[in-house]
């Protein structure tokens, strides 16, 4: 293109006459228009389509098999009338893939957008397409056994209403949570309550450790994780052919209310048997795979395996873009191999809590083998490379797609990818750095970026070099170059625009729905700024009530800012009458240490109900008014608790990610 030649000429002229003023490239070259695939991206996506068996329509039939009914309303709304789930939002997913979407991801997006109530086996149904996750309904002797009641109260209630409308009204007799992620328990209160447990004996089953892990991931590290999750799931970008098309393992996250009803029993072991409302269930512990607390279960009378998030028709994450504890690829593979060995010749249908089922014993066995093999392959090949001296990045770049990944779609990189899963394996064994000494104590971007820009000849030279890479279709390198300029000069509109253009093309080429949305959300923020109204869905009264008291104070401790503490160290006792608990908070000059129990000689003691404290933290009530009304009693030095609370940083979700 014309400006590439001009850019090269400008660099030559600059080197020949360093005292002459460089042309103002920001005026000469404008970044390409948004939302349009370049010729390089078009070629990449065409090559992907030619390499895969896209003509195979069998999974389209599986995704629609057993269709019963769908929600006919235009949206699922909350009590205030706000839209939680726009039902027609993915209707644009028609026909062949446009240039702006990887054709493999487009195919997956069409499949994940299929919505409605579907019969899976005799007495087993699923509601799919109204949430990131899938709700499974099993007919018991007296009522419904519901597995994984979606992410929000509103989508779960709407799904259950569809079941009632289509299959008749029956009570909820039991609930099963397959693992400790919010998209599998957050809608619980939309279908069941503690009153149902107490009055009707409703049982809620979960894997061992569920209650601890269900809240811990969303508490201490929750704010940063929520910020990145908004980008990963495309919450802030449009549902369109140049925006979010699918998360890879489901259409998208809903925008509703997350809840938690704690389980009545946590299940351990493999082959642990229960009869739930007349239905035989064999539980299979899967902790340490996709979640720290997880299970699968087999229904022998129906030949059906519910695999939760452990086995589904896509490659999952060993480490998510939002951030989480890294997962054990070898253990994941071994758990699937256990299922294959113990149940492979008994399973007629395997269903998961995302996407659609797989039917037929031969298909199931091949599916299990491929799922087992993809995590083992990533594990073994990463360690083979690492043990030969490869760094984290080198190992990830060297891993090729195995043949079974190219021959079908059930292990494709729709969510996890070979690249970042390989890096997760490396991190699991060796930590966060690749082994090169210069990488161990690297300077922050804000420090190095201006130096890189200076070393490369200044902003205009950096911009021209990045544009040259962009025009060659080398978008990864272009993004790295432009990123230096953005972090050196955050107000440089040309740098922001060109980095956004590079991110956009990387998003258009991505097979992973998570990668695509993260890139495109990043591009949107570079062009429009951080969106207002970001909301961490997991900041709910239900989840706060379920947080163990010590964990709650640990979460407060990570907000402690030593620069705000001017007093000598002190201790404040918090005493909660309704839970019969006490926490002694040791406030020092540099850190806060909470400890269960009361401390003699504390500077102050605050007595209240834990339920009142929860409302104060949620900013539903004013703490001073609660003191006036006698619901909070403070004894001793009132300045001590004031100093503690004033030392805590306010946590904002809308912090910048793609700019300094």
Provide the token pair at 461: 């030279």
**390 domain residue, yes or no:** no
22 Cβ partners below 8 Å, 6+ apart?
A: 10, 14, 458, 460, 461
Buried b (16+ CB within 10 A) or exposed e, 63-93: beebebebbeeeebbbeeeebbbbbebbebb
Residue 179: phi, psi to the nearest 5? Answer: -165, 180
Q: How many domains does the chain have?
A: 2
**Is residue 6 classed exposed, middle or buried when 0-12, 13-18 and 19+ CB atoms within 10 A define those classes?**
middle
- Cα–chain center distance at 479: 24
**18 domain residue, yes or no:** no
Q: Report how far residue 517's alpha carbon sits from residue 132's, in angstroms, rounded to the nearest whole number.
A: 14
650 Cβ partners below 8 Å, 6+ apart?
A: none
- Whether 316 contacts 415, CB under 8 Å: yes
- Cα–chain center distance at 60: 26
Provide the token pair at 192: 């069941």
Q: Report how far residue 491's alpha carbon sits from residue 512's, in angstroms, rounded to the nearest whole number.
A: 31
Nearest to 495 by CA among 457, 463, 467, 521: 463
Alpha-carbon radius of gyration of the chain:
27
Residue 362: phi, psi to the nearest 5? Answer: -65, -45
**516 domain residue, yes or no:** no
Q: What is the pLDDT of residue 545?
A: 86
Provide the token pair at 333: 């593979």
**81 domain residue, yes or no:** yes
Q: What is the pLDDT of residue 646?
A: 95
DSSP E strands, 503-645? 570-576, 581-587, 592-596, 604-608, 633-636
Q: What is the CATH number of the domain that holds 558?
A: 3.30.1050.10
The CA-based diameter of the chain, rounded to the nearest angstrom, is: 87
- Whether 210 contacts 177, CB under 8 Å: yes
Q: What's the whole-model pTM score?
A: 0.93
**359 domain residue, yes or no:** yes
Residue range(s) defining the domain that contains residue 288: 66-94+113-384
Measured CA angle at 113 (ends 108, 114), to 5 deg: 105
Low-confidence residues of the chain, pLDDT below 70? 1-29, 535-539
Measured CA angle at 267 (ends 305, 272), to 5 deg: 60
Q: What is the pLDDT of residue 530?
A: 93
Of 354, 384, 414, the residue at which a domain comes to its end is 384
Provide the token pair at 102: 């990887």
Buried b (16+ CB within 10 A) or exposed e, 343-377: bbeebebbbbbbbbbbbeeebbbbbbebbbbbbbb
609 Cβ partners below 8 Å, 6+ apart?
A: 576, 577, 578, 579, 631
First to last CA, the chain: 32
Q: What is the pLDDT of residue 216?
A: 75
- β-pair type (358-359, 349-351): antiparallel
**433 domain residue, yes or no:** no
Q: What is the pLDDT of residue 1?
A: 34
Q: What is the pLDDT of residue 537?
A: 62
Q: What is the pLDDT of residue 220?
A: 78
Residue 51: phi, psi to the nearest 5? Answer: -90, -15
Q: Report how far residue 553's alpha carbon sits from residue 141's, in angstroms, rounded to the nearest whole number.
A: 44
Q: How many CB atoms lie within 10 A of CB 61?
A: 10
- Whether 464 contacts 11, CB under 8 Å: yes
Q: What is the pLDDT of residue 14?
A: 36
Nearest to 512 by CA among 372, 592, 415, 373: 415
Q: Report how far residue 111's alpha carbon sits from residue 252's, in angstroms, rounded to the nearest whole number.
A: 13
Of 362, 384, 406, the residue at which a domain comes to its end is 384
**212 domain residue, yes or no:** yes
Q: Tens of pLDDT along 474-501?
A: 999 999 999 999 999 999 999 999 999 9
**490 domain residue, yes or no:** no
Q: What is the CATH number of the domain that holds 377?
A: 3.60.15.30
* Residue 144, helix vs strand vs coil: strand
DSSP string, 390-451: --HHHHHHHPPPPHHHHH-STTSSSSS-HHHHHHHHHHHHH-SS-S-HHHHTPPPHHHHHHH
Q: Report how far residue 419's alpha carbon sits from residue 422's, in angstroms, rounded to the nearest whole number.
A: 5
Of 327, 349, 384, the residue at which a domain comes to its end is 384
């Amino acid at each position: 293109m014309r400006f590439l030649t001009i850019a090269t000429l400008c660099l030559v002229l600059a080197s020949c006459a360093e005292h002459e003023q460089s042309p103002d490239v920001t005026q000469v070259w404008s970044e390409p228009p948004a939302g349009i695939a370049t010729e390089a991206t078009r070629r990449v996506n065409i090559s992907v389509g030619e390499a895969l068996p896209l003509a195979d329509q069998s999974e389209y039939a599986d995704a629609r098999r057993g269709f019963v009914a769908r929600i006919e309303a235009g949206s699922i709304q909350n009590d205030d009338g706000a839209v939680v789930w726009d039902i027609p939002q993915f209707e644009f997913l028609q026909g062949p893939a446009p240039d702006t979407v990887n054709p493999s991801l487009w195919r997956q997006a069409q499949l994940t957008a299929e919505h409605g109530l579907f019969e899976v086996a005799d007495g087993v149904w699923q509601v799919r397409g109204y949430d990131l996750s899938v709700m499974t309904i099993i007919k018991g002797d007296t009522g419904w056994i519901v597995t994984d009641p979606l992410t929000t109260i509103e989508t779960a209630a709407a799904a259950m209403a569809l079941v009632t409308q289509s299959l008749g009204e029956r009570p909820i007799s039991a609930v099963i949570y397959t693992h400790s992620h919010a998209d599998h328990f957050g809608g619980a209160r939309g279908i069941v309550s503690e009153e149902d447990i107490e009055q009707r004996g409703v049982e809620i089953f979960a894997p061992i450790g569920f209650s601890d892990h269900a809240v811990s991931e969303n508490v201490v590290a929750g704010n940063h994780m929520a910020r990145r999750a908004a980008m990963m799931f495309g919450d802030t970008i449009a549902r369109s052919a140049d925006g979010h098309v699918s998360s890879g393992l489901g259409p998208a996250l809903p925008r509703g209310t997350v809840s938690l009803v704690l389980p009545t029993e946590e299940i351990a072991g493999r082959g642990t048997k229960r009869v739930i409302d007349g239905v035989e269930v064999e539980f299979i512990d899967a902790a340490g795979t996709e979640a720290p607390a997880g299970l699968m279960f087999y229904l022998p009378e129906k030949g059906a395996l519910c695999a939760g998030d452990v086995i589904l028709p896509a490659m999952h994450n060993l480490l998510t873009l939002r951030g989480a504890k890294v997962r054990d690829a070898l253990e994941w593979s071994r758990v699937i191999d256990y299922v294959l060995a113990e149940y492979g010749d008994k399973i007629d249908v395997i269903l998961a809590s995302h996407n659609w089922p797989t039917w037929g014993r031969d298909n199931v066995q091949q599916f299990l083998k491929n799922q087992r093999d993809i995590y083992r392959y990533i594990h073994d090949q990463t360690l083979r490379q690492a043990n030969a001296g490869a760094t984290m990045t080198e190992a990830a770049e060297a891993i090729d797609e195995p043949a079974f990944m190219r021959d079908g779609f059930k292990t494709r990189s729709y969510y996890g990818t070979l690249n970042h899963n390989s890096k997760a394996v490396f991190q699991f064994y060796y930590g966060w750095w690749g082994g090169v000494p210069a990488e161990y104590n690297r300077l922050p971007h804000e420090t190095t970026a201006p130096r890189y820009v200076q070393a490369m000849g200044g902003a205009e030279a950096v911009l021209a070099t990045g544009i040259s890479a962009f025009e060659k279709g080398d978008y990864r390198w272009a993004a790295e170059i432009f990123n230096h300029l953005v972090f050196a000069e955050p107000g440089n509109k040309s740098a922001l625009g060109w980095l956004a253009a590079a991110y956009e093309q990387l998003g258009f080429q991505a097979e992973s729905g998570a990668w695509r949305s993260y890139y495109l959300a990043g591009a949107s923020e570079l062009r429009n700024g951080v969106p207002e109204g970001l909301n961490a869905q997991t900041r709910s009264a239900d989840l706060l009530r379920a947080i163990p008291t010590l964990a709650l104070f640990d979460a407060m401790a990570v907000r402690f800012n030593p620069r705000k503490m001017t007093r000598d160290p002190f201790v404040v006792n918090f005493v909660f009458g309704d839970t019969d608990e006490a926490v002694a908070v040791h406030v020092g000059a540099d850190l806060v240490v909470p400890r269960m129990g009361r401390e003699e000689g504390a500077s102050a003691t605050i007595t209240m109900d834990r339920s009142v404290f929860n409302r104060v933290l949620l900013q539903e009530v004013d703490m001073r008014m609660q003191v006036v009304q006698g619901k909070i009693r403070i004894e001793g030095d009132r300045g001590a608790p004031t100093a503690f609370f004033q030392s805590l940083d306010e946590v904002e979700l809308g912090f910048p990610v793609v700019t300094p």
